[in-house]
Structure 1
Amino acid sequence: MSEAAQSLAGPGDIVCDFCAGEVFKAVKSCLECRASYCETHVHPHYDVPALKKHKLVKATVMPICSKHDKLLEVYCRTDQVCVCMHCLMDDHKGHDTVPSTIERDEKQMKLTDTQTKVKQTIQAKEKELQKMKMDITSHSDSAKEAVKNSTRVFTDLAKFIEKRSNEVIEKIKAQEKADLDQGAKLQKKLEGEITELKKREGVLETLLQTDDNIHFLQNYESMPSSSGSDEFPSLSFQPCCSFEDIDKLVRELIGRLQTTCMQETNETINIVSELSTKSPPFDIAVGDTVRVKPSVVIPTHKWGSVSYTSIGVVKKIQGKFLTVDFPEQKNWTGVVSEMERVTSAGSDLLTKNASVDIKVGDRVRVKPSVTTPKHNWGKNVTHKSVGVVKDIKGDDSLVVDFPGHANWKGILSEIERVTNDDEIGPSSLDSNIKIGDTVRVKPSVVTPTHKWGAVTHKSIGVVKKIQGESLTVDFPEQKNWTGIVSEMEIVASADSDIKSDNSLIVDFPEHANWKEIYSEMELVTKDDEFGSSSLESNIKIGDKVRVKPSVVTPTHKWGAVTHKSIGAVKKIQGESLTVDFPEHKNWTGLVSEMELVTGSCTDLSTKNVSVDIKVGDRVRVKPSVTTPKHNWGEHVTHSSVGVVKEIKFEDVIVEFPKHKGWKGILSEMELINDSDAEVSGSP
């Protein structure tokens, strides 16, 4: 092949070691010569008899031993590393070693088997997906049919009620006509009787007015002696029924219909609701393999013997709660929203990693998150006991020799490796804490189980009482503060060289023997002294500032302010300052808790606040938020998706499907796109 036909070596390509001038891309590497060759320079290995015996492979970077500068061609099973032949006589003498080809073949078989299982899992999941799509379509069609039938039924019911209403109205009108006809006849008869009686009255009046006695006496006998009350009996209008009674009956009918309809429709709605709650939320079903989400600091029902690496099988789901069988703990109770599914591939990987991380000869201890090991503590074994792994079995169990207990049996998922730093560290183990120790909340704890109160990450107090996992601490800011042992750390003697009342004496250039409390002080490095925002004098009246990201809770609380809030300094008095924020005027803070904000930062922050979330956007609570500032409310969880109804400074009102008018703060919310909503299963 001509040089022109060959490819010049580019970035990332393996180059020919024998090209001069223009360097071509290597096509083969010789393990004997430890060199790479292009199409032209590799020909001698095909033609020269001595070179024909060399091992040619696809161009690759030569695996060279950094210690002996020799080719790596042997695998040490004891240390699980590739070594050269010289290593066999040196650091790896007497170890279990095999040629790299043999180890490759064995591991390739295992990897091929894993690949086959993954492919089978993919095929099974694709079938599940196809079935799920069909089930979703069928469910949607069923819902549409239910809507159609419900509309028809209620329309027919409305027509039936309208028809019966018309019949009642016609009956009322017919009865009204019959009664009015009767009344008209009676009225006419009564009017005739009145006319007749008036005629009689006229004759009587004429006779009474005559002056002729003979005429009066002759006509007296012909006059009617009756007053007419007997001849004309009393008449009255008496209808067959009272329409007031009918009105009462109709009202009673409406009441009964409303009650019946309400009961029946409520029963139907409840059945639909029960069906929806019975369907497994978050795509987790009985039989699934699950673990606690990494974003969950402490599960609602506590860890027990379970940890982040624990993988178990869902045994039961009831509403938002589920029961899981973990290897470390059977019948563990958790919340569905705090769990995530683990695929078989992920499970295999975790198991593999668990066994690879820890090997025979490693120094280990029981993890702090394990309350009681599966095979119990044994004699003299505690969280701070450090032992050496003696044996690892295939069922995830291992044997450890502890100083106080030889041949202790445990399981890999409950054990962690121990380095020298871990042993020397000031607060590596929960059991190191005892009454009288000086402690603080660990930096890794976002929110303590029993809340902060007036305590912060900087607060240092003295342990007053320990009862099981709970402890009571007297902090300068809060006496009798309750916490969890696993959330605390001991403050090293260098840090805690303070007086019993938490005070200390400092010599300042301006003031010798200055007295203050320890929790109000911080260490200063050279970098701190020359940093752009480490000194209080860097902040002055009129500057734009915000709370430092490192401050979890300001000394004088947040108020309506958040980490995103940017305001102007209005007043500085010693360590205190007053800031006008858009959300909170005359906010009081500490200079040491604030940082200056440049113009570009201001623009960026303002842009992010206004552009990220707006009215009408679909949002949910961020996974990193354990408990929202205004609490969860009814039916609102991390997976709930709602629509922003109103934004007022940092506050936001969200319409969730099951909680209207929910109140939160912008910094705790995140935007949701369609793909997110589909994944979460939210509406």
Structure 2
Amino acid sequence: SLEEDGDMGVAFCFRSKLFLCSVADIEKAQPFEVGEKVHVLPSISEPRLGWSNETAATIGAISRIDMDGTLNVKVSGRNSLWKVAPGDAERLSAFEVGDWVRLKPSIGSRPTYDWNSVGKISIAVVHSIQDSGYLELAGCFRKGKWLTHNTDIEKVQSFRIGLHVRFRAGISEPRWGWRDAKPDSRGIIAGVHADGEVRVAIFGVPGLWRGDPADLEIEQVFEVGDWVRLKNDADDWKSLKPGSIGVVHGIGYEDDAWDGTIHVAFCGEQERWIGFSSQLEGVSRFVVGQRVRIRGCIRQPRFGWSNHNHSSIGTISSIDADGKLRIHTPAGARAWLIDPAEVEKVVEEEEVCIGDWVKVKDSVVTPTYQWGDVNHNSIGVAHRAGDGELWVSFCFCERLWLCKGWEVEKVRPFRQGDRVRIRPGLVAPRWGWGMETYASKGEVIGVDANGKLRIKFRWRDRLWVGDPADVILDDTPSPTEASNGGFCS
């Protein structure tokens, strides 16, 4: 939690209560992430949370991170998770043999080891992993191999056989010359060496072209039948705008070479859109049988409501070639036509994870471990989980609230920037009205780990502290949204 006077409360896994301190007394640390491999620091003789039958040689992957920072580590061959304090853990190298890497842009003019002719854009391949975080790299731009520390480099997408490539924008000359290629030439990777050197079949150039991967960039190519969406920076075309969704129908050719364009059929347009793949991004395809509903930010669907509303859930019965969806609902005798950009898929209930915002299901009459100060309207944050049980942090409870995992359901979390207003019908906010009324509208400025909200209401200097159960999202469209034609991000 963060108070207005600059004090803050920090949750440590080895303390039952928050540690109160000043913002000036602490500094940020790099957070651990799920999936990272860790082990106990060599300097630690006795971990804060114990060894739990593990040893200093044990290596595991982080499976879950509790809200107090406890790392729940999955160790191969063990059924239970190993709990480790983050201060006792050390990350292992995230790199593997065969990874493609480059020097981090943030590194100064001279990294840990002298890269000699290695430039900021040069690409190398991890050849072997050494002790103490050092890696042996190989690159096509120099002979032999060299060492570097894993903190000096970052992963890049690997070049694989079959990928479409083009020359990097702004390149003056490839490492080994143009050799009949041109700056706008495109090709397909036909071979990759262990040091990253590639052989490219360039359209219009006889034989295979030898290249340095740093001189090339991978070009996204969509296949016929792929579903795509216009990126936010794409130009408007007829009725289309950023966010429009369509289906790829083909690619453009000039003579026998691909000219870099994609042909897409968009919903409601008789003419195909023709443009470059850089203006498109892939989206998951819709299939017959999926359940969908209109997105909450859509005011008026393109093809009308057909006696439905935002709560209507239907099943896709058929899909037109341009992506138009035909939906069957119990309330409608005819198929409901919908633009795919206006719907969202209705997914089955997902397992609650640490950090999810939750509330008790309406179907639960009495929780297994009783209500305490919690009720059906209360909103909290999942703090810890284990053996089918869940510990939830509520902003009005000093201790974590214990329940069974199946007794709660996910709700949308409040985020910084959300526009909110007081929940209609609320008798009294948990910490009082202050100067606010039902008509007050504001913006979420801060969100504590237990869900407590700090809201800046219009024409107020002080922040209003509130329980998330006391407010709702303000769905009144802003002038920007009102002029966006109905699409939302």
Computing the radius of gyration over CA atoms, which structure comes out larger, 1 or 2?
1
User: Which of the five TM-score ranges fits, normalised by the shorter chain?
Assistant: 0.3 to 0.5
**Larger relative contact order (C-alpha < 8 A, sep ≥ 6)?**
2
Q: Which has the higher helix share?
A: 1
Give the structure with the larger strand fraction: 2
Name the TM-score, length of structure 2 as normaliser: 0.34
Give the TM-score normalised by structure 1. Answer: 0.26
